[in-house]
Every structure is written in C-alpha cells, then in structure tokens.
Homo-oligomer: A and B are copies of this chain.
Amino acid sequence: MTDFYPKSNKPAQILDMNAFDRDKSKISGAVQRRLNNVGASSVLFYREPIEMVSAKGAWMTAADGSQYLDFYNNVPCIGHCHPAVIEAVSQQLSKLNTNTRYIVAIVDEYLEKLKATFPASLSNVVLTCSGSEANDLAMRLACKSTGGTGFIVTECAYHGNTAFVTQVSPSSLKNETLPNHVIAIPAPSVQNYGADIEQGFTNRVQAAIDELSQRGIKVAALLLDSIFSSDGVFSHPNGFLHSAVEVIHRAGGVYIADEVQPGFARTGENFWGFSAHGVVPDIVTMGKPMGNGFPMAGMVTNPHLLDAYCHDVGYFNTFGGNPVAAAAGLAVLNTLESERLQDNARILGDNLKTRLINIAEQSSIIGEIRGSGLFFGIDIQAQGTHSAELTIQVIDRLREQKILAGAAGKQGSTLKLRPPLCLTQSEADFFIEGFRKVALA
C-alpha cells in the first residue's frame, strides 16, 4: 500500500518548467542562502531567480527596483495586498482565531455565502488549508462512496502534493511512474481528438474505465481540473465534458471538479469552471485564490458522500475553517462582487484574446491561443513545432518587458497566463505591448 509509485505506466514526458536549476544557473548570494535553508526542495522561477520586496494590485516590485506586471499568479485574484483582505484578516486576528470545535458566527456566514455560489446539491463544505488537502479528502470520499479505487486524470495533471494526490499528478513525477490504479488520458485538445473533442474525450474516458476494469480495479473518480491548466489550458468548446461525466456516472464513479486554478470567477463567463460544461460535479475542490493568499482551501459535496466517509474515519483540520480564514474568504467573495471582477475578467479577457489572436496571425512563434476570461494558454512554436526551450526564452524575454509568465503543457511549450482579476485596461495594454515585442521580434 505504501508502494505509492509502482514502476509502470510512466507518463510520456515530464514537464521542464521555467525553473532555476542549480546545475545550469549561476548562483547569487540570495539564491545560495535559500538553497542552504531548503535544499533540494527549492523551486525557484527563472534561471536567474527574482528577489521580490513588495506588491500591489497587478504589480510586483523586485529588490533592484524593477516593477513587474504579474500575469502568472492566480492566488492574488483580487490583486496583491488588497486592503479588504488586509483589514478583514487584521480585524479578525485581533478578535478571535480558533478552530471549528467551537461555533464562531463568521465561519457559518462564510460557509453560507460560499455555498450560494454552487448548485444546491453541493450543500456540505469541508474547509482545509490547501487544495492538496481538499483533493486528498475528495479522493477518499470517492473511494468510500463508490467502493472503487481507480482514478482517471489527464496526462499532465497536477492536483496537489500529498502522497495520495501525488499519485494522480503525473506532472509531479520526475523519476517515478503512475501507479496501477491511475490512468492518465490525453488532454482534450483538437490535436489529440480531432474536431469532435467531446466524443473523442468521452471515448477515452470509457477506454480508461475499461482498462481499469481489465486490471481488476473499479473506477472511483474522474478527477479533472475544469480548465486543464497544467495540460496547457483547454477551455472550449463549452460543454465538451458533458458526456464524459455521464460515462463516469454510468460506470459507478464520481466526477470531481478541481477548481483550484479556474475557480472564483477567473473564467469570466462563470464563477466556477465546471459551469461552462453544463455539468454538476459530485465533489468540487478549491484553493489558491480563495483567501487571496491567506492559506485556505476547501471541498463541497453531497451530504451522502461525506456521511459515507465520516462514518468510518474521523476528519478534523486544525487550521481549516478558522475565523481568520473565513474573514479572508468573505473579503474575497465580497470584493469579487463589489468590484464586479467576474465581469472584468470576461470583458477584459475577451478583449485580450482578440488582440492576442491578432498578434499570433503576424508571429511565427505564436501558435494557438486558448482560454476563457483571464486565463490564457498560448502555444509557442519554433518552425511550427512545440518548443519548450523557446517557451523558456519567451518567458525570459517577457521578463525583460517586465511581465511575469509561466509555462505548462505536455511539451512545456504553452505559456500559462493568469493576471489578477482587477487588471485594468491600461495594464492589459502594457501586457499587449510587451507581448507584441516578444512575439514579433
């Protein structure tokens, strides 16, 4: 059972992200200090990492005084250092911070406001500290309620960092392979499935169910990031997940929507990514933007799924659902509303997408533009083929233009862009100007 990475079913390719590499990069004093403290667990962006000192709105300021437009981090969804979160956290920290073994009114106020964003069937919430903890619990609920142990994910999925969740996160595996009970299927792209993505993807889900069955394993869940972030961002056509969800239900499995990246209004048209597909998940997990950086995450589900698990195993999370997290979460939900940030994500996102497509038509290195709202995947290509190396160069050149970006996708050749939802028109213009220079250089 603890043999959690049997040597089989190795993912086709491991992502080589935009990371500092101590064997390839020059090591500054600040980087050496970090390496001394955290050793091999260090994961720094850029071949020459950036020391940051402050941030505000969509901008981050480095130690050398440079200001960068943050087009990468989806955590500060309402903007870095938003006063609403600072005030809410400071006030609640001054009043009461304790665990959910006591009743605290603000916690239930938050839970009710959060639940109101979901379909009515998803009426029980468990708050945790991280999306990893949320997915770890969701997977156990799936196993317990279905009697199955098999999971179907996409081939570059990332769902978190616990032992159990790492098993279903092919993108985390460097010299390891997927265990026998996990099947990773190709991302829902035209390249992989042709024009009828829905039919192709659904067929592949059914084939995975059958393959698990041949291995003697009953499927527990289809676990999908609703916008396939680490696979390279696959958002369209709306509704393509519909029949795959029917298929997993027919097989007795549940559908878990991982909203850690697309959730909380980022996709513009919808508050949650799964809504674009006209489906109701059995379990939804959420995290990163939930507290705008305050460590909090959660899971919502049907009561009967939660009952089945809690009947046999106690679950308690010391920090999960504390009143300070509730205050931060409330501030985020209230600000998304009061600043109309979902509308902003939709309107500015559509505008940016049109301009990006225009640039792509003139550029030899920009391929397909995908995404929804303020979540973009942009393929980078050298002589018409995917290029991870060129993608890293593009990220470095965007950095020279004072724009922060990241990479994703099976070939590591997709730019992943997720600016704060408070992005302004002039900041969007700044990005387009910098991006145009890099794309048309």
Which residues does A use to contact B, with CB under 8 Å?
1-6, 30-31, 33-34, 36-45, 49-55, 60, 63, 73, 75-76, 80-81, 85-86, 89-90, 93-105, 107-108, 111-112, 115, 123-126, 129-133, 136-137, 139-140, 143, 149-151, 161-164, 166-167, 171-176, 179-181, 220, 287-288, 293-296, 303, 306-307, 309-322, 324-325
Shortest A245–chain B CB gap in Å is 21
**In the docked arrangement, what's the CA distance between A1 and B129, Å?**
25
Report which of B2, B86, B95, B319 forms a contact with A81, defined as CB distance below 8 A: B95
Number of copies: 2
> Please, which residues of chain B bring their CB within 8 A of the CB of A315?
41, 43, 161, 172
Task: State the Cβ distance, A213 to closest chain B Cβ, in Å.
Answer: 15
A sample of 19 cross-chain residue pairs with beta-carbon separation below 8 angstroms, ordered by A number, consists of: A1-B179, A2-B139, A5-B312, A34-B108, A37-B125, A38-B100, A43-B101, A43-B314, A53-B95, A55-B98, A80-B97, A81-B94, A129-B129, A129-B130, A136-B163, A172-B313, A294-B324, A295-B319, A295-B322
For the complex, would chain A's binding face be called helix, strand, loop or mixed by DSSP majority?
Answer: mixed
Query: Could you tell me the distance between the alpha carbons of A112 and B306 in the complex, rounded to whole angstroms?
Result: 41
The 4 lowest CB-CB distance pairs between A and B, nearest first, are A39-B124, A163-B164, A129-B129, A2-B149
Return the contact of A317 from the options B55, B73, B130, B310 (Cβ within 8 A). B130
Q: Which residue of B lies closest to A406 (CB)?
A: B101
Residues of chain B within 8 A of A52, CB atoms compared: 96, 98, 102-104
Contacts beyond the supplied A37-B112, A44-B103: 7 A-B pairs with Cβ under 8 Å: A1-B3, A1-B4, A5-B313, A40-B311, A76-B98, A162-B164, A172-B314
Task: A44 to B108: give the CA distance in the assembly, Å.
Answer: 14
Q: Contact check: which of B1, B89, B288, B314 meets A318 at CB < 8 Å? A: B288
| A172-B316 Cα distance, complex, nearest whole Å | 9
Residues of B near A132 (CB, < 8 A) are 133, 317
B residues in contact with A97, CB < 8 Å: 55, 76, 80-81, 293
Are B112 and A96 within 8 A (Cβ)? Answer: no
Q: Which residue from B42, B95, B293 sits with its C-beta under 8 Å from A324?
A: B293
**B1 and A124 contacting across the interface, CB-CB below 8 Å:** no
A93 vs B94: C-alpha distance when bound (angstroms): 15
Q: State whether B124 touches A41 (Cβ < 8 A).
A: yes
The answer on a CB contact under 8 Å between A39 and B307 is yes
Query: How far in angstroms is the closest Cβ of chain B from A124?
Result: 4
CB distance from A53 to the nearest CB of B (A): 6
Determine whether the beta carbon of B181 is less than 8 Å from that of A162: no
Which residue of A30, A179, A318 has the most chain B CB atoms within 10 A of its CB atom?
A318
Picked from B53, B101, B108, B310, the residue with its CB within 8 Å of the CB of A41 is: B310
Query: How long is the Cα–Cα vector from A174 to B311 in the complex, in angstroms?
Result: 7
A51, B104: Cβ atoms closer than 8 Å? yes
Q: In the bound complex, do residue A54 and residue B95 qualify as a contact, i.e. CB atoms below 8 Å apart?
A: yes
Closest residue of chain B to A82, judged by CB?
Answer: B93
Q: Smallest distance from the beta carbon of A18 to chain B beta carbons, Å?
A: 9
Q: Taking each of A173, A180, A312, which has the highest tally of chain B beta carbons within 10 Å of its own beta carbon?
A: A312
Partner of A303 from the list B39, B124, B296 (CB cut-off 8 Å) is: B39
